[in-house]
């Protein structure tokens, strides 16, 4: 691995300090860390509990959404007619029975096309400030727009292709007329799907119950794991309602994981290699940095969503934590630290529709 110059090292230290300062400001302001542009927004403003002093906020137990839009969006989520050859749906990659992901290193789209990134969980994605690993979609509707038309996903050359297939159903025609008072349009499809995705939130994890005042909800070792999570610095990026999803970070603040990792060199998608992930969040103070910026992923239900990282190169939580310690914190974490953090992360599995995932 190439050596790191003093100048580069100094910049990295300043970068970490800025992230920590931002976290302190967010805690001081005591405002929810959500920014959801969907017309059916998720609101978290009515949280009143001891957790106000913590950098992590519990997911609200109830979020009001238009039930008819949710029902229609659910139908569309499983609708293969949205794909060009009617073979895959949104649920093909975002399986609700496997943590809202496909458990593959890289997403697999229409006709076996290999995607650029690992499939992010659909659960709680409405809380993310941007969508996709590189943040190229400002909201869920924009994410759906790209998914429908992407050659690696549903591969429609235009929205009209998908609409023509959907409107063959009299049931769909009636639903769109009743809910949107219009014929089937791309805007209505995106809105219904986004509203359904916003309904895929998972409250009432054991850790959320702990934050709400049930001090017996997690074990002493899990509490130790949370303390390690905070004191080591993981919390500087993984905080807020979603324990992530609200900022972008360089993968390799202290060491270049992608350059060092033989696993990554062997499996990284060629498109990703060519572009070197020169992605930066629009309107971000970090936009001048083009060195592997990724949206910080949520830690919600993380025990269910292996493999980890944008390229799926970490098959276990233990490996992911070890890599993060080295590449982001500049520390070689002890086996005991890793075990404790894993135990804490296991408390973040929540409930969907009243049942534990």
Which pLDDT belongs to residue 278?
Answer: 42
Global pTM reads: 0.81
Share of the chain above pLDDT 90, in %: 68
The pLDDT tens digits for 148-158 are 999 989 999 99
**Which contiguous run of DSSP H or E holds residue 258?**
helix 257-260
Which pLDDT belongs to residue 19?
Answer: 55
Across the range 218-226, mean pLDDT stands at: 97
Cα–Cα dist 308/61, whole Å = 27
The pLDDT tens digits for 156-170 are 999 999 999 999 999
Across the range 53-79, mean pLDDT stands at: 96
Share of the chain above pLDDT 70, in %: 75
Which pLDDT belongs to residue 259?
Answer: 61
Q: How far is CA 336 from CA 179, 225, 319, 342, in A?
A: 54, 9, 13, 10
Please state the separation of Cα 51 from the chain's center in Å: 22
- The answer to whether the peptide bond before residue 307 is cis (omega within 30 degrees of 0) is yes
pLDDT at 310 over 50: yes
């Amino acid at each position: 691995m190439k050596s790191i110059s003093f100048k580069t090292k100094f910049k990295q230290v300043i970068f970490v300090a800025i992230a920590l300062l931002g976290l302190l400001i967010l805690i001081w302001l005591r405002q929810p860390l959500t920014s959801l542009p969907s017309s059916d927004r998720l609101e978290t403003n009515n949280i009143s509990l001891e957790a106000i002093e913590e950098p992590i906020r519990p997911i609200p137990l109830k979020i009001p959404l238009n039930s008819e839009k949710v029902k229609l969006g659910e139908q569309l989520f499983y609708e293969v007619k949205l794909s060009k050859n009617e073979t895959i749906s949104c649920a093909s990659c975002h399986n609700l029975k496997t943590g809202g992901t496909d458990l593959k290193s890289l997403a697999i789209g229409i006709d076996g096309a290999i995607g650029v990134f690992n499939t992010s969980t659909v659960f709680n994605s409405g809380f993310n400030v941007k969508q996709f690993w590189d943040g190229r979609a400002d909201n869920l509707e924009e994410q759906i727009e790209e998914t429908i038309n992407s050659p690696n996903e549903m591969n429609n050359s235009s929205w009209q292709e998908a609409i023509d297939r959907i409107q063959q159903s009299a049931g769909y025609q009636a639903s769109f007329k009743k809910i949107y008072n219009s014929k089937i349009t791309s805007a209505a499809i995106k809105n219904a799907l986004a509203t359904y995705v916003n309904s895929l939130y998972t409250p009432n994890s054991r850790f959320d119950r702990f934050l709400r005042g049930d001090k017996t909800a997690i074990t002493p070792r899990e509490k130790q794991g949370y303390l390690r999570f905070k004191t080591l610095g993981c919390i500087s990026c993984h905080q807020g309602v979603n324990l992530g999803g609200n900022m972008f970070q360089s993968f390799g603040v202290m060491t270049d994981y992608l350059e060092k990792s033989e696993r990554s060199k062997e499996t990284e998608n060629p498109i990703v290699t060519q572009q070197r992930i020169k992605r930066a969040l629009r309107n971000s103070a970090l936009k001048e940095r083009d060195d592997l910026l990724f949206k910080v992923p949520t830690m919600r239900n993380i025990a269910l969503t292996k493999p980890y990282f944008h390229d799926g190169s970490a098959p276990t939580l233990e490996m992911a934590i070890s890599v993060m310690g080295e590449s982001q914190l500049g520390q070689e974490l002890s086996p005991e630290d890793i075990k404790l953090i894993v135990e804490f992360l296991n408390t973040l599995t929540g409930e969907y529709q009243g049942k534990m995932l």
